[in-house]
Structure 1
Amino acid sequence: MHSDDDSLQRCRFLIEEKVGWGDGQQWQNGDFEALSERIFAETGVSLSVSTLKRIWGKVRYDSAPTATTLNTLAQFVGHENWRAFRQPPVAVQTAEPIRPLPEPPASATPERRGARRWPWVVGLLLVTGLAGIWAFEDRVKPLQYGAVSFTSRPVAKGLPNTVLFRYDASNSNADSVFIQQSWNPKLRFRVDKAGHQYASTYYYPGYFRAKLVLNDSIVREHDLYITTDGWLGTVNYDSIPVYFPHGQIYRGQTVSLTEADLRGQGVSLQRTVPTVSLHYVQPLGDLSGSNFEFETELKSTYSRNEAVCQQTGIMILCSNGMHLIPLSVKGCVGQLYLSFAEKGISGQTTDLSGFGVDFSDWATVRCAVNDKQVTVWVNGQRVYTGQFSRDPGKIVGLRYYFQGTGAVKSARFSDGRTKTVLL
């Protein structure tokens, strides 16, 4: 069994290898912001920038990471939870080595010794081969199942929200049964084959394609949509966020989270600057993530302490992924991370200087996607063109994130035929 320190070091290495941004000790604030968003996109759990910095030793912290943090990091690198990650690799069992046959008497000629050995060797190899085939066929049985059911029901409106999954996989020969919360296979949890109910709590809104998995085969799936009641604001803590409802954050023609809002909930900006989000997750018709236009005006409104770079992001949520458009002050564009569906672009290896803005005024962002061909304009200047290959599905919502506080003045989608105005 690995020690916790060794396991955490190994987990950091795997994350660095996965994102491909080089040695984590050289990462800057924007890298941790981008990592936080990638972890959230893949696991559905938001780990704050300050928590990630503690994991990498950038910020001194005497307490051990919480179970939620460790489980989330483990899921990000492909394990069910931290306990599974810490398990040592299972030793591969091999067939018992063939013992050499006793040498014949010295009086035997070389030809006679070889002739005596061959029947034994051939016979032993034949028996070993047949045993291996039998063991493989006995272990790998084709999946068979009859009537299988899988449904879900949110127990409340708004957030947080517990979803009750009902399933019946008893009419199958499956050795293992899993419920996968969304398109992301890392959000797959093993359940009792003889059971019928599994409860899962969702703390953030989004679109989830829930799946029932027998062994490694998806046999049932359905949409699970956790929506907001209009606009919702959150302070994104590692476990349970702080919520700000529509009526509190809507101010005339804008939605925003202010320092006064955060102070009113006991959130301090002095010690650690939290990441906050403004969410709008509601049905938007048949808008495709591969063909749409989007325009918005937004502003980061906090620039002290850790928020000096004013890292800001626009996440266009889709049924099978997301698009992420980042912004920052001009001096921090090397820390940005842009992504469309599965394609990611790092500011460390690509010129993203056009995404640097002066937040003393509203920043205007326009994004046009035509058959997976992307063009992005910031303040009227074209700053990026590219393409992606994976279909992200339909657009199901919008999320902004800011360091500390921020505001959104307008947000609208169009598909060339209809226009959907969110703000």
Structure 2
Amino acid sequence: MHTEDENLQHCRMLIEEKVNWGDSSQWQNQDFETLSERIFAETNVTLSVSTLKRIWGKVRYDSAPTATTLNTLAQFVGFENWREFRKKPDLVYQETLQPVPVPSAPTLVSHPMGLRWPWIMGALVLLGLIGIWAFQNRVNPLQYGDLTFTSRPVTQGLPNTVLFDYDATDSNADSVFIQQSWDPRRRYRVDKDEHQYAGIYFYPGYFRAKLVLNDSIVKEHDLYINTDGWLGTINRDSIPVYFPDKRLHRNGTIAITETDLTEQGVDFQKEVPSTSLHYVQPLGELPSTNFGFETELKSPFNRFNAVCQRTGIMLLCSRGMHLIQLSAKGCVSELNLSFAGQGVSGKTSDLSGFGVDFSNWVNVRCEVKDKHVKVFVNNKLAYEDHFQEDAGKIVGLRYYFQGPGVVKSARFYNGPNQTVLQ
């Protein structure tokens, strides 16, 4: 049985292995900002930089991490939630702890069969259990008849609860799960004899909901959590702060201002918050492998811990996303790009073209043809490559900023067809 501190220590170690950024004692503020963004991209939950610093012992904090924080960290390393992570600590320990040599004892050498006998019995028991499991699965394969699986948001806008209606009684499944998106870590066990499950969503997006019997996906459908026009958020560990569409329109732009943030109690000297502008509405059949996108934006705040003015543009897709990051020119080593899951790091690639002067409007244009991507920043080619996977159709757009952020224009196009968002 492992203590909660030991479980958290090994969860940190798994995260460090996943990101592969070297010794975490040398991580800087920018590393925790990038980690926060990666966790948000994979789990749709924001953990603030200060929270992550507390987890890694960079900031003193006497209280234990919240359940939301622990669940999100566990999901980021492949578990359904913190409870499931705690159930399997031995798997983590087996992979990470070094074997300790056991000194030989002369009295044992004279009884080789006595030494081997427990191992032989253990192996026989294990083989017997495997045989029983294989026999049961051979004689009881998954069978099912008429199944139902639908979902419906209970309201418009955010936050939003989605009611999932299901009927899996006409099956011999031992376990029934509802998976709320394409990510298998958002899979939740439900009662086979019940017919409804409710899940809450705090951020907009596209989700591919699935009904899972045992380990087989048997039904799935699209689920959109739309915005009513544009939506602004202050991204927090628990419930975000929302700015509705009508609050964001200012002088022909979409903006979250410094005044907006101070009115919500933000103290910039303590921490510059992560903010987002979201637009999730039907965009038609716009494939992630063939499209154009162009935008003009500013990240106007460059004080305190926002000197790098890190900014992200996420093109949300039905099976993933495309991500473009910008920053002040001196911070480009901390940038990342990702196209359909194919990542590029500023630590190992030249991303200097994504370093910009945010005192002027920055123009970003992304052109994709047959999975070949070109990104232009202020009309100069900053990146070109070919990606392998198909991320599905484009379903929305999300910007994120360090503090205030402004979008002057945004449009998608595909040949003569275009959708102008602002």
TM-score under structure 2 normalisation?
Answer: 0.89
| Distance in structure 2 (CA, Å) of the matches to 1:374 and 1:274 | 31
| Distance in structure 2 (CA, Å) of the matches to 1:53 and 1:243 | 25
- 1:25 matches 2:25: yes
Superposition pairs for residues 228-243 of structure 1, below 5 Å? Answer: 228-243=227-242
Superposition pairs for residues 252-271 of structure 1, below 5 Å? Answer: 252-271=251-270
Moved over 3 A (4+): 88-91, 125-135
Q: Deviations over 1:247-283 (max 9, x none)?
A: 1111121011111111222232221111000111111
Aligned to 2:38: 38
Does the 8 A contact of 1:297 with 1:410 survive in 2? yes
Does the 8 A contact of 1:28 with 1:335 survive in 2? no
| Distance in structure 2 (CA, Å) of the matches to 1:305 and 1:289 | 37
| Distance in structure 2 (CA, Å) of the matches to 1:55 and 1:294 | 38
Q: Deviations over 1:194-227 (max 9, x none)?
A: 1111110000000000000111110000111001
Does the 8 A contact of 1:2 with 1:88 survive in 2? no
Instruction: Give the match's secondary structure for 1:328.
Output: strand
Aligned to 2:218: 219
Superposition pairs for residues 63-82 of structure 1, below 5 Å? Answer: 63-82=63-82
Does the 8 A contact of 2:295 with 2:363 survive in 1? yes
Q: Deviations over 1:338-366 (max 9, x none)?
A: 11111011111111111111111111111
Does the 8 A contact of 1:29 with 1:335 survive in 2? no
CA 132–267 in structure 1, closer or farther in 2 if over 3 Å, else same: closer
Aligned to 1:16: 16
Does the 8 A contact of 2:43 with 2:76 survive in 1? yes
CA 129–382 in structure 1, closer or farther in 2 if over 3 Å, else same: closer
Superposition pairs for residues 39-58 of structure 1, below 5 Å? Answer: 39-58=39-58
| Distance in structure 1 (CA, Å) of the matches to 2:342 and 2:394 | 17
Superposition pairs for residues 110-121 of structure 1, below 5 Å? Answer: none
Amino acid at match of 2:417: T
**Structure with greater Cα Rg:** 1
How far residue 29 of structure 1 moved from its aligned partner, in angstroms, is 2.9
The gaps in structure 2 that reach 5 residues or longer are: 92-111, 115-122
How far residue 295 of structure 1 moved from its aligned partner, in angstroms, is 0.7
Does the 8 A contact of 1:236 with 1:275 survive in 2? yes
Aligned to 1:346: 345
Does the 8 A contact of 1:302 with 1:404 survive in 2? yes
| Distance in structure 2 (CA, Å) of the matches to 1:30 and 1:341 | 24
How far residue 370 of structure 1 moved from its aligned partner, in angstroms, is 0.7
Aligned to 1:174: 173
- 1:158 matches 2:183: no
Does the 8 A contact of 2:289 with 2:368 survive in 1? yes
Instruction: Give the match's secondary structure for 2:184.
Output: coil
Does the 8 A contact of 2:207 with 2:223 survive in 1? yes
- 1:288 matches 2:287: yes
CA 90–12 in structure 1, closer or farther in 2 if over 3 Å, else same: closer
| Distance in structure 1 (CA, Å) of the matches to 2:181 and 2:366 | 26
> Which of 389-398 and 46-55 deviates more?
46-55
Does the 8 A contact of 1:374 with 1:386 survive in 2? yes
> Which of 133-142 and 295-304 deviates more?
133-142
TM-score under structure 1 normalisation?
Answer: 0.89
CA 129–272 in structure 1, closer or farther in 2 if over 3 Å, else same: closer
Query: Comparing both chains, which one has the higher relative contact order based on Cα–Cα distances under 8 Å and sequence gaps of 6 or more?
Result: 1
Instruction: Give the match's secondary structure for 1:186.
Output: helix
The alignment-based identity, stated in percent, is 68
Aligned to 2:406: 407
CA 227–14 in structure 1, closer or farther in 2 if over 3 Å, else same: same
| Distance in structure 1 (CA, Å) of the matches to 2:128 and 2:175 | 28
| Distance in structure 1 (CA, Å) of the matches to 2:405 and 2:256 | 6
Over the aligned positions, Cα root-mean-square deviation in angstroms equals: 2.1
Does the 8 A contact of 2:2 with 2:89 survive in 1? no
> Which of 170-179 and 199-208 deviates more?
170-179
